Amino acid sequence: MPDSEHSSAALYFRAAAATAVWGASYPFTKQLMTEVAPLTIVVSRAAIGIALLVLFGGARLAFKDFRGVTLWRLFVLSVLGVSAQQYIQAYALKSTLASNAGWLICTIPIMVAGLAAALGERLGFFKLAAFALGTAGTLLVVFGRSGAGAFVLPSTKGDLIFLVSCVDWTFYVLFAQRWLKDWPQAKVTAATMLVALASVLPAWLLGGGPADFAAVSSRGWAGLAYLGVLSSAVGYLFWNSAVEGLGGVKASYFIYLQPFSAMLASYLLLGEKAAIPAFFGGLLILAGVYLVGLKDGRRKFPEVPANA
């Protein structure tokens, strides 16, 4: 096999591995929530992720990167993309299925397109169809187990809270693309993680966060290692490498693997069995994601930074 084919195969593997790893992060987070507080998960992921991204990810940070208006922008991005987003997801997973999270996270490209439309981008037929499918699919995922329109707690509450984290990430995508468009993605990721860690660490220490580690089981430590090493570091290393080699459009196709990875990992780790209505709702969401990228009969997938 020629070197170029070996290289392409490696890049496809990295894109697939990154999205699969991120999909499986939801059951790991759900399991960890029985042992530690959400803020402990945020701090652990950020600390491990920063160390590995700086050491191995080519994220060259300098003091000048954290001055003036750039620092304030990084702070906003760190809240939207790291601290608040991961906290909300962890809290939501206390009361819903991890497999539901895998489906709902795929609404983000549709939300990004919707936000672009709200800011003046023209809506075509395919995007309108995407919103309709995405909305129908989301309703099925959220309400499928209890009947349409029935707000049954705690699952529905958890799903709705998780959707807030998707909205959160949508604004992160918008601001990151506008504020730091000249920065490599690896640098944006590492910088926002660092600022997030610096901003939440005092509250975590004052709240007795380190005491959480005293009661963590071996399974819990494995979960922390998975989220910190694989999800917050290796996943981004693989993803950034795939995007550089394949381009954002080709790499973004692999978003379709994430919900299926979440379902499989949820079954293996937690014994969760996804409800049939949620499965079909998830397929509608993925159909909406596909339509978001259609324009004039040609496929042009939205280049949305992946969510971990």
Query: What is the CB neighbour count within 10 angstroms for residue 72?
Result: 12
Kindly tell me the burial class for residue 2, based on how many C-beta atoms sit within 10 Å of its own C-beta (0-12, 13-18, 19 or more): exposed
Q: Give the helix/strand (H/E) hosting 50.
A: helix 38-56
For residue 299, list its beta bridge partners: 294
d(CA 83, CA 164): 14
Torsion of Cα atoms, 20 then 48 then 226 then 33, to 10° = -110
Residue at token pair 């997801």: 89
**Whole-model pTM?**
0.83
| Tokens coding 150 | 């029935």
Domain map (residue ranges) of the chain? 3-299
Give 86-138 pLDDT, tens digit per residue: 999 999 998 888 888 888 888 888 787 777 777 777 777 777 787 787 777 77
Mean pLDDT for the chain? 81
27 close to 270: Cβ distance less than 8 angstroms: yes
Among 252, 103, 78, 50, CA closest to 172: 78
Cα separation, 251 vs 243, in Å, equals: 6
- Per-residue pLDDT of 277-294, as tens digits, reads 777 887 888 887 777 766
Highest-scoring range by mean pLDDT, 88-92, 115-119, 238-242, 244-248: 88-92
144-178 per-position pLDDT tens digit:
655 444 444 455 778 888 989 988 988 888 888 78
Report the pLDDT value the prediction gives residue 153, as an integer from 0 to 100: 47
Please state, in angstroms and rounded to a whole number, the distance separating the CA atoms of residues 16 and 257. Answer: 7
CB 239: neighbour CB atoms within 10 A? 25
Residue with tokens 């005491």, as numbered in its chain:
211
